[in-house]
Amino acid sequence: MTLAVIHAGLTVRSLLRRRVPVAVLVLLPIALYLASHDTVGRSVRALVFGISWAVSTVALFATLAARELEPGLWLAGHRRRSLSAGRTAGLLALALVLSAGFWAVVALDQPVRSLAAVALDFAVTAAVAVAFGTAVGALVSAELEGALVLFLFAGLQAVANPFDAWTRALPFWSSRELGTWAIDGPAQGSLAAGALHAAAVVALCVAAAAVGTWRHRRVPSAP
C-alpha cells in the first residue's frame, strides 16, 4: 500500500474518532433538511448547504491536524504533494460516501425531477467543500479562526439572493446553481455555468492552499 493510500485511511480514521466533527458532518445537513422538509426545492438546497458547510469544516480540521505530522514526514523524505494528495483523497472519499447517504435519503423521501442530477450536485458540492476547507485550513493558524471564516461564508451563502450578481463570488454558488438545475430543470439552472464555477473555485482553492502552506512554513512555532 502506498503512503498516500495509508495517509488517506488514517486521515479518515482520525476524523471519525472526533465526536464533534462527526456529529456536525451528519447532523447539520439532516437538521437543515428536516427544517425545510415541506418543499422539495428548499429541502434539497438546505441539505446541499449543510453538506457544503459540514464537509468544509471537516476538511479544515484535517488540514490543521496534518500540520503537526507533516514536518516529520517531509524530513523522512516524502514530498509534500504526495502527503496532501493522500489527505485530500481521504477527505473526498469520506465526503462522497456521506453525500451518497444523503442522496439516498432524498431518493426515498422526496419526489425529484432527476435523481442523477441531484447526485451530481451533491458530488460537486462535496468536492468544492473539500477544496475550500483545505484552503482555509492552509491560510489560518487555528481551528477557531477557520471555523469563523467558514461561518462567515455560510452566512453569506444563506442570505444571498440568487439573482444578485455578487453571489457568484461565493464559493458555493455552483452548488446552488446545480441544485436549481437538478430540481427545476435546465431552463432555470445552468449545468455548464455551475460546473465551470465549481472548477474555477477548486483551482482557486488549490492556489490559495499552496500560498498558505508556503506562508505557514515561514512562520516560526515557539522559537
Partner 1 sequence: MNDADWLAALDHELTLRGVSAAERAEAVLEAETHLADTGPGAAARDLFGPADRYADDLARAAGAPGHRAAPGVTEAETCLLRADSVAKAYRGRPALRPSSLAVAPGQVVALVGPNGAGKSTLLRLLAGLEQPDAGSVDRRVAAGWVPQAGGLDPYLRPVEHVELFGVARGLSRADARREGGRLAAHLAWDLAGAPVAGRLSGGTAQKLRMVLALVGSPRLLLADEPYQGLDADSTRRFWDLLWSVCEAGAGAVVSSHDPQVLRRADTVLELEPAAEGAR
Q: For binding to partner 1 (CB under 8 A), which residues are involved?
A: 1-3, 6-7, 10, 13-15, 17-18, 65-66, 68-69, 71-73, 75-78, 217-218, 220-223
CA distances in angstroms from 223 to 66, 179, 219, 220, listed in the order given: 20, 49, 10, 6
Cβ proximity to partner 1, 65 vs 199, nearer residue: 65
> In the complex, what is the shortest distance from the CB of residue 126 to partner 1, in angstroms, rounded to a whole number?
22
Task: Spell out the residues 6+ positions from residue 148 whose beta carbon is closer than 8 angstroms to its own.
Answer: none
> In the complex, what is the shortest distance from the CB of residue 161 to partner 1, in angstroms, rounded to a whole number?
40
Cβ proximity to partner 1, 40 vs 143, nearer residue: 143
Q: Which of 61, 74, 81 is nearest to 14 (CA)?
A: 61
Cβ proximity to partner 1, 36 vs 82, nearer residue: 82
> In the complex, what is the shortest distance from the CB of residue 217 to partner 1, in angstroms, rounded to a whole number?
7
Q: Which of 145, 142, 151 is nearest to 52 (CA)?
A: 151
Cβ proximity to partner 1, 21 vs 179, nearer residue: 21
Q: What is the largest CA-CA distance in the chain?
A: 59
Cβ proximity to partner 1, 89 vs 118, nearer residue: 89
> In the complex, what is the shortest distance from the CB of residue 28 to partner 1, in angstroms, rounded to a whole number?
20
Contact by Cβ (8 Å): 128, 201 = yes
> In the complex, what is the shortest distance from the CB of residue 201 to partner 1, in angstroms, rounded to a whole number?
28
DSSP string, 25-93: HHHHHHHHHHHTTTSHHHHHHHHHHHHHHHHHHHHHHHHHHHHHHHHHHHHTT--HHHHHHHHHHHHHH
